[in-house]
Structure 1
Amino acid sequence: MLRHLLWLFFLALHAAGAGQYNRDSLLQVLPGLPEDSVRVQVLLDLSWAYFRSDLNKSLDYANRTETLARKLGLTEKLAASKRIKSFTLSGLGNYREADSLLVSALADYRLAGNQKMIANCYSELGWLKRLQNDPAAAVDYFGQAIDLAGKAGDINTQAQAYNYLAGLYADQKQYDKAIENYEEALERVRQLDIQPGISACLTNLAAVYTELGQNEKAIALNREALPIKEATGDLLGAGRVLNNLGIAFNELSEYARAREVLQRADSLAREVGNERLVNTVGYSLSVTAYGLGEYRRSIDLCQRLLDREPPVTDLDLLSKIYRRLYLAYGALGDYQRAFESAENWGRVTDSLYDENILKATNEIEARYQSERKNQEIALLASEKSLQQLQLNKRVNERNGIIGLSLLVLLLAGLIYNQYRLKQRSNLELQELDRLKSGFFANISHEFRTPLTLIKGPIEKLEQNPGETLSREEVRMIRRNTQRVLGLVNQLLDLSRIDQGELRLKPTEGDVFKCLRAAASAFNSHAAQRRMDYSVRIPTDSLWASFDRDKIEQVVYNLLSNAFKFCEDGGTVAFEATYKDELLTMQVADSGRGIPSGDLPYIFDRFYQAQGGMTRDREGSGIGLALSRDLVELMDGTITVESEEGEGARFTVQLPLRAIRTRGHGEMQDPQNTLQEAEPPKAFAFRSPDLRNLPLVLLVEDNPDMRQFICDGLIDAYRTLTARDGEEGLKLAISRNPDLVITDLMMPRMDGVEMTEKLKTRIETSHIPVVMLTARAGMENKLEGLETGADDYLTKPFDTRELRVRVANLIRQRQRLRDHYQQQAHAVVPEEVTATSLDQQFLERLHALLEAEHADPEFGLPQMQRALGMSKTQLHRKVRALTNTAPGTLLRNFRLDRAAQLLRQEADTVTQVAYRVGFNNLSYFSKCFRERHGASPSTFCD
């Protein structure tokens, strides 16, 4: 019964125009027409004309249309004939052939390029699948129809497909999806102003809300549909709407209102002569009477229905009538008739159950018979093939050998192709694993630095309970707590997006004001880096409903990205415009740009561009991905334009409808949740540190970390700071510090590259290096140590541990210098535990002193030229390794060699003085006495 009703509704929709055909006129014209396209159209019109009254005649004319259209080569007419044949056969219950014909019609429409009819065919195939109890296929066809109709601009077909899809979901009790799709259909028929379609969608929606028990919504929708039905002259439809209103009022126990609308429905039903509606309204009136306590009237109304001619045949309605009689007689105390009514109710219910079982059995039997026939056909075909194989055995054997060979080749090709696919899949999995590993390494780096800056002051307070934290330290903790919280929120947002749980939370406010506040947060950062930062936002207000938090996140991510990849002194620009209900935001920078090979993947999760200037610029790989997901959540788009070396420009476009109904004075922007950026601090001159303490060079790009480490070392060391590896290398060469502390990841030049350059330059190779990093992996530690770093410390670290390691390295270097000063006369390279470059330098220096110490003309200038170093470089290098100036080292070497010769008593004092490069005997004696505590003449006594 339900399937029959669905098919009737389908026919009503698709044959709505059939009444326009004058069947008698067409029959008179047909005999005199030649076999041309006009005759084809007349035959097609006759098929539609008979469609609602005589399906067999409709099928006959459709067959004649198909034959002539195929003969004349009229592709679209051929497709139209197959389509009407499909409708007719489905009406006759032959769904399988109807399905096949509609698929064939779809192929013809594709060949003709008729996009509108292609969409129609998909919608109609979905309807057929719904009748065949194949909801999965039906949903797929309806979805394709909606997409194709949208692309073709066919709003009517799109609305029709949404309506069918909603009905399917309603059948499956998926009422949320049914409501969603009915509303989509209603929106489109409203757009086209199709009044019958609007009323149909409203009544369909009302039926769903009635099923959900939401009778108030159902009443509102039916009341909206009723005037449309009346205005379009659809009396039958108006009667059904009034009956639905009566049912809803009965459910709400508003029986007086129910009786009023049901009486109007009864009048319309009798006027149009629709027996089914008369019976349905009569039963609804009996329910109303029962609800008002008018049990006799309820019984009379039910009895009239049972006595009607023709009699009621709908078993479901009969079951309800007998049940109402049972309740009414019971309320009157007439238990004998109540019992009889209950028996009739049970009998009809059993018949209804048996009918459903029989229908299901018949469907199963029909499927079985169909499958059996198919199997018999297949068996006959196989027997015929066997006979043919026997007759052509030799030919087939030869063909078999050829086919086997081809099959082997094909299998080999498939195996090889499968191997290649597997290899490619493995490479893709390895790449994904590499991207994820890089992501987790980078995100740990993002966490470790702020955690170190939070942990340090807390440990300081824990170690010194009597002290308090300074205001700057508290601000530093707050800034880095916000940074960690922001990272965690980004990760949570990505997770919620993946799970489909992130929702927009729009509030009314001034969009331009929100953007100005977000962009201004970068003013102080731009000022500190001496960058040209311009913000162009209209000065007027744009009042709209938008998700403030999501837009702020997008702006922050894009501006942070622009500043990160732009050098100091560069340019960053932010611009916002609004036109045609579209908010456009652009962020441009003059940085190094994005390589063309990376552009297609720049918004992918975990992706970082390769070959960057510095590894810290890789980021965590989530900022741009999160921005893209947030923009898409707001139904917007985000694009990027860039050339390597020319900077990048990101463009975000968001659909936004301005609210213009409120007065300007009423527009009160909600409290701005943006954290106010701290104003840049005034520049202050630092007084030079003149304490006689070791000099430590700190190379760190994070200003908070730089200040934190300096505060921890200031009591025991003089400190010198640099913001990146390039600046740190210059300071190390010019100032020759006692130790260098460097971060691993920095702009312009990272810690690994700087350490490598320090350890490969003769004038700085002796300086011990402590490397700090937030990357805790063994490969990162080995990379740092292999470049020559003397120690390695992972963030977050304890300040006391850093001080101990610094003190140990400086003390070790001092012991090396003291050890040399205690040597009798020679530099012994193998006893100096320094880098290989320092060993080579000491060996060259020792060989030079051995070769030239006897030459009285050999001095510092000659030593500088021989070693290829300036006076300052030579002085710093020799003092750093031996704690002795180069001139003193040469003089001591000559005096120690003189002492060796005097012990051997090989020559006189005068001869020894000349042999070790002294021309002045009195000066030799003076220097010798200072070095060895005795004059040369008494040295061996």
Structure 2
Amino acid sequence: MKRLSLPLLFFCTMLLFSQSKIDSLQQAYTNAVHDTVRVKILQELFGEYKYDSITKAKATILSSIALSEETGNIRLQIESLNKYADFLGSRSSYDSASIEYHKALRLSEKINFNSGLFESLSGLGNLFWRKGNFEKAKEFHEKSFEKAKKSKGQEDVVHYYNNMANIYVETGEYVKAMELYTKAAEEHKAKGNIKDYGIILGNIALIQRRLEDYPKAIVYLEQSDSIFNLVDYLPGKAFVEYSLAVVYKNSGKLKEALKYNRKALKSYELLGNIKRQAYAQYTMGSINWEQKNYEGALVDYKKAHDLSLAIKDSVNVGYCLKAIGDAHHKLNNNKEAKENLLRALDVSKAIQLNLIEMDACESLASIYESEKNYGEALKYKNMFIKVKDSFYVKEKRGLAAEIEAKYQNEEKTKEIALLESDKKLQTLQLAKRVNERNAIIALTIILLLLAGLLYNQYRIKQKTNKELRELDELKSNFFANISHEFRTPLTLIKGPIEQLEQNPAEGLKIESIKMIRRNTNRVLQLVNQLLDLSKIDKGSLQLEQTEGEVFKCLRGAASSFSSHAAQRGIDYKVQIPHELFWASFDRDKLEKILYNLLGNAFKFSDDGETISFSASYLDNELRIVVSDTGKGIPEEKLPFIFDRFYQVQQGTTREHEGSGIGLSLSKELVALMDGTITASSEIDKGTIFTVALPIQKIKTGTLASEPTFPPNPNADAVKKPFELERKVNNILPRLLLVEDNPDMSYFIKEHLQELYHVQEAKNGKHGLEAAKQNPPDLIITDVMMPEMDGVELCKAVKSNLDTSHVPVIMLTAKAGIENKIEGLEMGADDYLTKPFEPKELLARVKNLIEQRKKLRNRFSQREVFIDPKEIAVTSLDQKFLEELLGLLEQEFSNSNFGVREMQEHLAQSKTQLHRKLKALTGESPGELLRNFRLKRAAQLLSKKADTVTQIAYMVGFNNLSYFAKCFKELFGVPPSAY
């Protein structure tokens, strides 16, 4: 009967359609002999009907399912089921679509049909994407990708790229989305899939629209629209109309936006696409909002909300609720506004929609502030800031633009390479026609010349690439170092200012003000150096000579380092002639040279060493010598120290990081003054810099008095700056702060000392010794430090059994993701980038210490089954606990086994074992052994393994009354009642 009913169905529909393709397909169906061919024709007819007549499309695809099932062709049945499910999903009948996809999935698994499995899994992924369940959508798309790889279907892989990119767009991960769209676009363009290529261009336009790059979005949309008009693809045209409406609305062109949005609304109604209708209705509300018609906007937002709710589109429901709340607020309906915004907040948290969560928090804060409920306003403002800090839209926009530029450059490179190939081919053909008789000789000569040119170009290119790589490496190191140079002082400036902003009545301590001034001068000095280098490169830096006393200038520059020398116990020797030396010179540039040379000498000298500064004048030449007894410079690196961006020591463990421009600037300034600068050095003996400047003396004389220049005045009386004095509170948690910058160490300790007992260490080596000697509750360490950096410290702490349980927070000015990954791979428990909020550091310290307390409490609970994997936080701690519990399991019944035997077996001293177990479990070794025996006794009692007396002996207790007492203390009941 089914076969007889199908021709009758199509005979009736032939009267309603005049299109030649539909007529020809119906005729082909009538003439077809094999049922397999008929099913294929029905599927094609479905493709023609589905955008024009929903009823006929549904009837056609159901007929194809029935016919394929009747003929027993499972593959065709799977194809028809997947097409029907896709049809239902596009019209928001998600539950019905899911049923059909699962039917197709079961049949595909039955016959191991990889292509069918891909279509079903991909379709289910798209269903969950439409519903806003992105985690579930990712799960199904990942499964579909595995099937695509097995079947080696490249088109399926391309569809996977597009599907995953759609999810990343909704979750705001635009970089990943752009990467996948780019791959899909290249594949579709290469294979001539014009319609699919147009869809990808539209999707890329969607990213540009969300990134607010509207001109670029319009370009992509116009390209996409031309393709959809060419292939007469109605869903594509509707998408372009809606996207243009949004773009023009966001650009302030409301008239054009209204025109395109009305078109899109009609198109989506014709297609029966409820989800897109909801979007267009939402945009209509946004246009009314821009026109300040808030009542009209509220009506449109509610319509969009009802449509989205009907199809369970959680994403758009969240957007609509937020918009409804804002509209109510504008209409002074604050109660309804707060209700809708709170609902929007719940939806956004449930589906991890950061943008809505951020906007809803900001709107709630604004409403509560208008009601003068400042407590609630502050609460939601803090929530807004927290979400905003974790969602860098602008940064993602830059990265997406970079990927797009990379794609465009690759396309241009391919075109250039193709043109060059054509040109070479034409040249060879022309040479062959001109001289056929000597073709072989000419070809040989050309090939030899070409080979020679190519080889020469290759050598030049290799040399150029090597130089560019070296330059790039130098520049990369420079920017990394200059970033570190700026971030640290900015942190120390920003912190006290924020503290003053939050507590203006308390003011700032004089130490904090001095710290701000020091670090402001440090930043200003760096900026001035960079500006001077820029002027030198442009040739605009000129000498500004004025008459003055040269030796007096030298004394003033040298004296500025006296207090620093006294503070560090450095023997600072200054030898400047005590005579009048009047000349015409550029005082500012001479001082910059001296400050750079003396600054380097102090930077690379340890406390207690010797630094000398001498000046002399002979044969119309001022000679300045700066020497130190520091570590020295290796002979092979000495020729490069005046190169721009060059640094003798590289890496995170260098003792004195800098920008790599000080000596380069000094050399440029000396050259500007027609002088020379040279350097000599020996390892572990020191370095000598010699500057010779031609200066014409105007007049000489003898000073009336010869001022003395003491190198170390009151050296013993000088106190170290920012010494924080407080009484040690042994009840407070102990923190170890490892930081080589005194200002940064002071800044951090000032914010932590009220809640924690803070011990300081000036580098990683000292920090490791302090941690081993007396393990703290938590370690805070900088990354870039002398002798041992923070990464090595973290690795050493986590690989040592005595300290492996101690949490580590790493602080660094390096903001790259690779630096963060490196720190976390070494076992760091948390990672903070400078500049950071002191409140954030406090919160993270508190969270890590609380986590350790919870782990100890977890171990000390009354549970009789103990799993070390639930307690330890590192593999080393887990291994230690597994070994310990294995030992207790083996020896718990031995009444002679005690803490001493435990120490011997684990090769730990009494102090080490006690400290380790207290940190991990909150129990001493004796308590741990006793409680283990009691828990094992409880386990045996619960199974009624024996009498109480026998069980007490079985778990190693010789005294029954002591056993009963301990058991009751732990479990609250005597053994007989357990």
TM-score, scaled relative to structure 2:
0.52
What is the deviation of 1:432?
1.2
1:574 to 599, 604, 613: 613
Question: How many residues end up aligned between the 2 structures?
Answer: 536
2:801 match: 762
* Structure 1 position 423 matched with structure 2 position 462: yes
Question: 1:868-919 deviations in whole A, cap 9, x for unaligned?
Answer: 3222222222111111112211111111112222233323334323322223
Pairwise CA distance, 1:475: 0.9
CA shift, 1:605, in A, is 1.0
Distance 1:532 1:662, change over 3 A: closer
Q: Distance in 2 between matches of 1:570 and 1:727?
A: 21
Give distance in 2, aligned partners of 1:809 and 1:450.
Answer: 27
Letter aligned with residue 784 of structure 2 = M
Asked whether 1:939 is paired with 2:977, we answer yes
State the alpha-carbon separation in 2 of the partners of residues 520 and 840 from structure 1: 59
Mapped to 2, the partners of 1:865 and 1:655 lie a distance apart of 77
Q: Give yes or no for contact 1:603–1:624 (8 Å, CA) kept in 2.
A: yes
Aligned to 1:13: none
Q: Please list every run of 5 or more consecutive structure 2 residues that lacks an aligned counterpart in the other structure.
A: 1-434, 708-714
The answer for the alignment partner of 1:724 in structure 2 is: 763
Which residue pairs with 2:624 in the alignment?
585
**CA distances 1:391-445 after superposition (whole Å, capped 9, x unpaired):** xxxxx99999779756643542331231122122122212211211211111011
2:966 aligned to which of 910, 924, 927? 927
- In structure 2, what residue type is equivalent to 1:651? T
1:466 aligns with 2:508: no
Alignment pair present for 1:636 and 2:675? yes
Deviation at 1:678, TM superposition (A): 15
Counterpart residue number, 1:802? 841
Quote the Cα distance in structure 2 between the aligned partners of 1:650 and 1:854. Answer: 76
Counterpart residue number, 1:820: 859
Whole-Å separation in 2 of the counterparts to 1:597 and 1:781:
33
CA shift for structure 1 position 464: 0.8
Assess, with a 3 A threshold, how the Cα gap between structure 1 residues 432 and 923 changes in structure 2: closer, same or farther. same
Aligned to 1:561: 600
| Aligned mates of 2:498, 2:717 — CA distance in 1 | 28
User: Would the aligned equivalents of 2:580 and 2:702 in 1 still touch at CA under 8 Å?
Assistant: no
Offset, 1:664 = 5.3
Cα separation, 2, equivalents of 1:509 and 1:873: 69
C-alpha displacement at 1:653, in angstroms? 1.6
How far apart are residue 574 of structure 1 and its match? Answer: 2.6
Report 1:660-699 matches (<5 A). Answer: 660=699, 680-681=718-719, 686=725, 688-699=727-738
Read off the aligned partner of 1:904 and give its amino acid letter: K
Cross-structure match for 1:852: 891
TM-score where L is the length of structure 1: 0.54
Query: Partner letter of residue 732 of structure 1?
Result: A
Task: Identify the residue that residue 776 of structure 1 maps to in structure 2.
Answer: 815
Residues 879 and 885 in structure 1, CA contact (< 8 A), matched pair in contact too: yes
Q: What pairs up with 1:771-920 in 2 under 5 angstroms?
A: 771-832=810-871, 834-920=873-959
**1:787 to 1:540, Cα distance in 2 relative to 1, 3 A:** farther
Distance of 1:614 and 1:710 partners within structure 2? 23
Please say if 1:437 is aligned against 2:469. Answer: no
Equivalent position SS for 1:509 = strand
Aligned positions of 1:715-754 closer than 5 A: 715-754=754-793
> Secondary structure, in 3 states, of the residue corresponding to 1:934?
coil
Change (3 A) 1:915 1:518: farther
Structure 2 SS opposite 1:558: helix
**1: distance between equivalents of 2:436 and 2:826?**
72
Question: Does the C-alpha gap of structure 1 residues 594 and 410 become closer, same or farther in structure 2, counting only changes over 3 Å?
Answer: farther
Change (3 A) 1:665 1:521: closer
Q: How does 1:76-475 map to 2 (within 5 A)?
A: 405=444, 408-475=447-514
- Partner residue of 1:523 out of 562, 571, 580: 562
Secondary structure of the 1:480 match is: helix
2:529 paired residue number: 490
Structure 2 CA distance for aligned equivalents of residues 530 and 663 of structure 1: 33
Code of the residue aligned with 1:429 in structure 2: it is L
Give the whole-Å Cα distance in 2 for the aligned partners of 1:657 and 1:667.
24
Q: Which has the greater radius of gyration? A: 1
* 1:503 correspondence with 2:548: no
- Aligned to 1:441, the other structure's residue is in SS state helix
Measured at CA, do residues 571 and 678 of structure 1 come closer, stay the same or move farther in structure 2, by a change above 3 Å? closer
| TM-aligned CA distance change 1:406 to 1:823, over 3 Å | farther
Paired residue for 2:686? 647
Structure 1 unaligned runs (5+)? Answer: 1-395, 669-676
Structure 2 SS opposite 1:856: coil
Give the alignment's Cα RMSD to 1 decimal: 3.0
Q: For residues 870 and 581 of structure 1, do their structure 2 counterparts lie closer, same or farther at Cα, with a shift above 3 Å needed?
A: farther
Contact 1:902–1:939 (Cα < 8 Å) also in 2: no
Q: Secondary structure at the match of 1:588?
A: strand
Note the C-alpha offset of 1:630.
1.1
The amino acid of 2:754's aligned partner reads D
Partners of 1:606 and 1:621 within 8 A in 2: yes
After superposition, residues 27-38 of structure 1 pair within 5 angstroms as: none
Q: Which amino acid aligns with 2:957?
A: F
What does 1:617-628 align with in structure 2 at a 5 Å threshold? Answer: 617-628=656-667
Partner letter of residue 745 of structure 1? M
Kindly provide the amino acid, as one letter, of the partner of residue 681 in structure 1.
K
* Cα distance between partner residues in 1 of 2:655 and 2:832: 17
| Equivalent residue in structure 2 for 1:607, among 629, 646, 669 | 646
User: What is the deviation of 1:528?
Assistant: 3.7
SS in structure 2 at match of 1:598:
helix
Aligned CA distance change for structure 1 residues 418 and 610 (closer, same or farther; 3 Å): farther
- Aligned-partner Cα distance in 2 for 1:528–1:874: 43
**Structure 1 residues 875, 535: closer, same or farther in 2, change over 3 A?**
farther
CA distance in 2, matches of 1:454, 1:904: 66
Distance 2:885 2:569 in 1: 50
Residue by residue over 1:103-151, the C-alpha shift from the partner in whole angstroms, topping out at 9 and shown as x without a partner, is xxxxxxxxxxxxxxxxxxxxxxxxxxxxxxxxxxxxxxxxxxxxxxxxx
State the secondary structure of the residue aligned to 2:656.
helix
Could you tell me how far apart the structure 1 residues matched to 2:908 and 2:554 are? 57
User: Which stretch of the first structure deviates more once superposed, 488-497 or 896-905?
Assistant: 896-905
Kindly state the Cα deviation for residue 685 of structure 1 after the two structures are TM-superposed.
9.7
Confirm or deny: 8 A CA contact 2:676 2:693 kept in the other structure. Answer: yes
Contact between 1:725 and 1:750, CA under 8 Å: does it hold in 2? yes
Indicate the SS of the match to 1:501.
Answer: coil
Distance change (3 Å), C-alpha of 1:541 and 1:399: farther
Change (3 A) 1:663 1:896: closer
Displacement of 1:557 after TM fit?
Answer: 1.4
Matched, 1:547 2:586: yes
Question: Partners of 2:596 and 2:716 in 1: how far apart?
Answer: 19
Alpha carbons of structure 1 residues 644 and 892: separation in structure 2 relative to 1, 3 Å: same
CA contact 2:783–2:811 (8 Å) conserved in 1: yes
